[in-house]
Amino acid sequence: MNAPPEAIAPLLAVDKLEVVYKHAITAVQGISLNVMPGQIVAVLGTNGAGKSTTLRAISGFLGLDDARVTDGSITFKGARIENRAPHLIARRGIALVPEREKVFPNLTVTENLHAPATSGVSRADIRRREELVYQFFPRLAELRPRIGGLLSGGERQMLALASALMCHPELLLVDELSLGLAPVIVEQLAQRLTEIRAELGITILLVEQSATVALAIADYGYVLENGRVVLDGTAERLRNHGDIKEFYLGQAGSGERRSYREIKQYRRSRRWYG
Ligand SMILES: Nc1ncnc2c1ncn2[C@@H]1O[C@H](COP(=O)(O)OP(=O)(O)OP(=O)(O)O)[C@@H](O)[C@H]1O
Ligand SMILES: [Mg+2]
């Protein structure tokens, strides 16, 4: 009899995570999610669902907002990292492309790229990494002397992704790739993410309001609402899921945007009473 294949451990395991802001506001209430090595995993949900809070908890950037992980755990490569300092988490191999304040507005493109990779990295390594990121984002090479504040939205997003790659991460967290950008630019950036995964072997956790963008490149997805996971599955399953089509992909043409739960409740009430 053949031995069963060895189970592959998740690169990142979030288990029953709870996050509270200012000792009062519970933004994440028991979220569990797994990211396997080499996967692109999407986290979907509308405004205030808890997407950014989840990424901030994973990357350690909660403290700046007076928030804490109050329950549950975050395990990266087998080690617990919840409530650790951001620089220690970065050193373990996690880089975050934040939702806002993506670049240093007063630093040039080159200075932005050098900023995250300073401690313990040789000049030769920094130069090598810089050449590598220019291969993914050739436009940035042309913009080297330009200051961050004068870049377009798309260029800024490229610089933010490139700065994260300068940290040499194993896991890249991207908060809202598509925010405020033209669809054609978003498509190019999403394409770059798939190349980054394929060529550098980097695992990606992508937070998005746009299900169309995220499910086009993801392997697996989670839908959050009010700080909880309400649905998860393979990207293919989610793309074809009736509720996702209706609510997130806008394919039902129902006009007003309702919450996932409202749709569920509406369906249930029709089933019971109609
Ligand atoms: N700094 C903060 N202080 C207090 N509450 C906060 C803070 N940041 C977020 N929250 C609250 O936490 C909840 C989750 O917010 P979060 O930013 O994680 O949502 P999101 O899913 O990223 O939404 P969006 O799509 O708008 O970016 C919201 O109710 C929000 O009001
Ligand atoms: Mg957010």
Secondary structure, 3-state, the chain: CCCCCCCCCCCEEEEEEEEEECCCEEEEEEEEEEECCCCEEEEECCCCCCHHHHHHHHHCCCHHHCEEEEEEEEEECCEECCCCCHHHHHHHCEEEECCCCCCCCCCEHHHHHHHHHCCCCCHHHHHHHHHHHHHHCHHHHHCCCCEHHHCCHHHHHHHHHHHHHHCCCCEEEEECCCCCCCHHHHHHHHHHHHHHHHHHCCEEEEEECCHHHHHHHCCEEEEEECCEEEEEEEHHHHHCCHHHHHHCCCCCCCCCCCCHHHHHHHHHHHHHHC
pLDDT in tens, the chain (274 residues): 555 666 889 999 999 999 999 999 999 999 999 999 999 999 999 889 999 999 999 999 998 889 999 999 999 999 999 999 999 999 999 999 998 888 999 999 999 999 886 677 888 989 999 999 999 999 999 999 999 999 999 999 999 999 999 999 999 999 999 988 999 999 999 999 999 999 999 999 999 988 989 999 999 999 999 999 999 999 999 998 877 777 666 554 444 455 656 655 544 444 433 2
Q: What spacing in Å lies between the alpha carbon of 47 and ligand 1's midpoint?
A: 8
Q: What spacing in Å lies between the alpha carbon of 124 and ligand 2's midpoint?
A: 36
Distance CA 81, CA 237 (A): 31
Show the tokens assigned to 198: 């394929």
Mutation pick for ligand 1 pocket among 28, 44, 52, 225 (CB with most ligand atoms within 8 Å):
52
Number of alpha carbons in the 13 Å side-chain half-sphere of residue 231: 19
Closest CA to 247 of 263, 224, 227: 263
* Amino acid present at 71: D
Tell me, what's the pLDDT at 268?
46
Q: What spacing in Å lies between the alpha carbon of 110 and ligand 2's midpoint?
A: 27
Closest ligand 1 atom to residue 46 Cα is 25
Closest ligand 1 atom to residue 49 Cα is 21
Ligand number nearest CA of 58 is 1
Q: Which protein residue's CA is at the shortest distance from atom 10 of ligand 1?
A: 27
Tell me, what's the pLDDT at 250?
56
Tell me, what's the pLDDT at 101?
83
Show the tokens assigned to 111: 């200075």
- Hey, where are the domains in the chain? 12-103+153-240
Tell me, what's the pLDDT at 120?
78
Q: Which CATH class is domain 12-103+153-240?
A: alpha beta
Closest ligand 1 atom to residue 54 Cα is 18
Distance CA 171, CA 92 (A): 9
Backbone angles phi, psi at 49, to 5 degrees: -70, -25
Closest CA to 42 of 179, 223, 244: 223
Find the residues whose C-beta lies inside 6 A of ligand 1. 21-22, 25, 27, 45, 47-53, 65, 99, 209
